[in-house]
Amino acid sequence: MAILFDSDIDWETCLQFGTRQFFKEKKCIYQQGTMGEGFYYIQKGLVKVTSKTTNGKERLLNIAIPGQLLGIQAMDRKPHFTTATAVNDSVLYYFDCDHFQKLITYQPSILHMVIKTVIHKMHILADKIYLDTLIPEQQLSVILLNICYEFKNYEVPLSQQDLTKCTGLTRITIYKILKQWKEDDIIEVHGKKIIIINPDELKKIQGRVIS
């Protein structure tokens, strides 16, 4: 999942080189197959990054959070291979390829952040291969725990439909697992939010076959 890179970059001064854009909830930021001409910096909000397979199935690859870069993989001016959608009302700054050169000159450490972002994208793809080897309960526990560590709290801002996209599991399977976990006092579900009340039990579920 997404991670927030520690950085000494003063983004407040860097934003002058970008264009401020506001995206309402569920608004598409960029779509798979469209040409990339730059990247985004997330100032506020959450962004879902998904990919559509050859059979048309959508998979959730990542949840990007404030302080992260988005769309870096298309800086070579080739088509995006993912789609980015605002989870909630979000504020992003767009930097085209030409502004990127100015940014590097003004703030050289941004290049290191870009490299970390690209490496992280590779880890995300590897994680998806790993998840496919796990049983449904483990897949779900891994995803929920990763998101918890990412947001630094135990409230996961994803719906059951989002979890279906993330794992590739059916909505019925997701429903049954969450229902059982609620009965076992592992989680609570409030609308489009899952609250983990017993993370240690989730870790046990995750480690049953992993360890």
β-bridge partners, 42? 92
Cβ contact 78:37 at 8 Å: no
Give the residue range(s) of CATH 2.60.120.10 domains in the chain. 11-130
Domain with CATH 1.10.10.10 in the chain: 134-210
Average confidence score pLDDT of the chain: 81
Q: Are 59 and 166 in contact (CB under 8 A)?
A: yes
pLDDT of 133: 75
CATH number of this structure's domain 134-210: 1.10.10.10
Confidence at residue 4, expressed as pLDDT on a 0 to 100 scale: 43
* pTM > 0.95: yes or no: no
Each residue of 28-76: pLDDT tens digit? 999 999 998 889 999 998 888 888 877 877 777 777 888 888 988 777 7
pLDDT digits (tens, 9 = 90+) for 82-135: 899 998 899 999 998 887 777 777 777 777 777 776 666 666 665 666 666 788
Q: How confident is the model at residue 209 (pLDDT cuts 50, 70, 90)?
A: very low
Q: How far, in Å, CA of 38 to CA of 94, rounded?
A: 7
Please give the helix or strand (H or E) that residue 115 lies within, else none.
Answer: helix 109-131
End-to-end CA distance of the chain, in Å? 21
pLDDT at 14 (0 to 100): 80
In the CATH scheme, what architecture does the domain 11-130 have? Sandwich (2.60)
Residue 152 CB-density burial (10 A; 0-12 exposed, 13-18 middle, 19+ buried): exposed
